Amino acid sequence: MIPDLSSFDAGTLVCAVGAAGSGKSTLFSTMPESSIVCLDELRLRLADDAGNQRVTPQAVRMQNLILRTRMELGLTTGVDSTNVEERVRATVLKPALAHGRRTVAVVFLTPLETCLARNALRPANTRVPDDRVAWQHRQTPRSAARLRREGFAEVYFVGVADAASGRGA
């Protein structure tokens, strides 16, 4: 079921978990722009190029600062990045847990073929290598199994039907 992002309490952390092209940014586009952190946008801001991986460390620092600040202020925040690694999610979760915020993960189970087809349509600078998309895709169900233990209080799945229709089931 696709969660209604506007229904969450103030201060909720909403963390996407999904491969490139799985539909993360599309879902988050229903939230106010200032409530989303997205590494692509931060790289664009830093380097005029959303795909410039050389500035990823700086973009991650900005993402962490934004998250820490917004969690402290009690502002709902969506993390529009792949987040398929536990180490990365731990960094995202930390400020939310530190401030006792509601923690929500949204897992994108979009089929690999769909992710690859969408990725292929992207401009070259933001296209992710196919083997990387496949790796992210493999990590997604593995991640899903761990999310509650890591500290996510709620886990939603955006499934095959949702991904095809763009609507909640």
- Per CB under 6 A, residues contacting ligand ADP are 18, 20-26, 118, 163, 166
**Direct distance between the N- and C-terminal alpha carbons of the chain, in angstroms, rounded to an integer:** 5
Q: For residue 126, state whether it binds Mg ion (rule: CB under 5 A).
A: no
Query: Taking CB within 5 to 8 Å according to partner kind, which of Mg ion, ligand ADP, none is near residue 163?
Result: ligand ADP
Identify which of residues 100 and 141 has a Cβ nearer to ligand ADP in the complex.
141
Query: Taking CB within 5 to 8 Å according to partner kind, which of Mg ion, ligand ADP, none is near residue 35?
Result: none
- 5, 23, 25, 96: which one contacts Mg ion (CB under 5 A)? 25
Question: Does residue 79 contact residue 67 with C-beta atoms inside 8 Å?
Answer: yes
SS3 37: strand
Identify which of residues 73 and 120 has a Cβ nearer to ligand ADP in the complex.
120
Tell me how far apart the alpha carbons of residues 103 and 151 are, in angstroms, rounded to a whole number.
7
- Calculated CA dihedral for residues 167, 22, 148, 100, nearest 10 degrees: -80
Identify which of residues 74 and 168 has a Cβ nearer to ligand ADP in the complex.
168
Question: Does residue 121 contact residue 30 with C-beta atoms inside 8 Å?
Answer: no
The residues facing 107 across adjacent strands are 17, 157
Q: For residue 114, state whether it binds Mg ion (rule: CB under 5 A).
A: no
Query: Taking CB within 5 to 8 Å according to partner kind, which of Mg ion, ligand ADP, none is near residue 26?
Result: ligand ADP
The residues facing 17 across adjacent strands are 107
Shortest distance in whole angstroms from residue 119 CB to Mg ion: 10
Shortest distance in whole angstroms from residue 72 CB to ligand ADP: 27
Block residue for tokens 């509601």: 102
Q: List contacts with Mg ion (CB under 5 A).
A: 24-25
